[in-house]
Amino acid sequence: MTILLTLKEKPDIPLEADNITPSQFAGKSLMEIGEIEIHQGNRSLPLEEFFEIEGDGTKEIDETEIILKGNLKQVKMIGRGMNGGRLSVEGDTGMYLGAEMIAGRIKVSGSVDAWAAAEQEGGNIQIEGNAGDYLCAGYRGSAEGMRGGRVYVGGDVGRELASQMRRGFIAVKGNVGEMAAVRMRGGSIMIGGGLGPRVGIGATRGMIFALGRVDSLPPTYKYSGISKREFTGYYLRYLKLRRPDFMPEGLEPTETEKWVKFVGDFAEGNPREEIYARVALNEHLVS
């Protein structure tokens, strides 16, 4: 069952729409969906005040799909805590998209603001445009960031990607800003474009595959040699199977490519974070 939500006009005060999830819509008629409350400032208002609502009544969560249209840059928390079903955003959207997501699928045709997929536990998020700061990160003061699931970004990502990441998989086609993977404890990240400075500060476990150029690495990372690494072919084949458009030109999922490996962060106890960078684009790291 598909529910279409069309924003009537761009709100002057941001909306907090964490109730726009398949689990909140499941089993409700269009009238009941229209009465679901979202927040604007210090007021709770019905969904129908801001959105035109069309479609069929919904049944089970996994049978529910929500499609959102309009200028949604002032709409926050869409899909927050989502626990199944499908959600599509046709255009750009605001902060906290898919934050704390547990299951289901989210697809955004445009770009998203900061804190998308923050502390995600599961599910699949595909963002065809850019993502703001703190993608897949932990909230301020939290000990854990992303704990599972998959996130694909077709554009660039801002600063502090995957801070405190524990598990999961992230693939970025474009560039990533500074301080990515700070205090990372697990999971895998593949970056097709450039990787900004101060990556992996305080990280002790996990893997980063830099398919593009790495500006620099912290001095607390130890050079671990250059070689052809067979298991990198597995990750490249995985990426090519799911998002072949993310593969940089000239890079094939074979074991012939040479990679330079760094291990760290040696400022921490028991450092086992691994960063792999293509030698062809990163000779400055070993010169």
What is the Cα gyration radius of the chain? 20
Mean pLDDT of the chain: 95
Please, which residues have CB within 8 angstroms of residue 212's CB and are 6 or more apart in sequence? 175, 191, 192, 193, 194, 195, 248, 278, 281
pLDDT at 76: 98
CB-based contact 25:66 (threshold 8 Å) = yes
Q: How confident is the model at residue 249 (pLDDT cuts 50, 70, 90)?
A: confident
Nearest of 54, 55, 106 to residue 78 by alpha carbon: 106
Q: Which of 51-60, 97-106, 265-274 has the lowest mean pLDDT?
A: 51-60
pLDDT at 98: 98
pLDDT at 59: 78
Judged by DSSP in three states, 53 sits in: strand
pTM assigned to the model: 0.96
Rounded average pLDDT over 265-277? 95
CB-based contact 140:120 (threshold 8 Å) = no
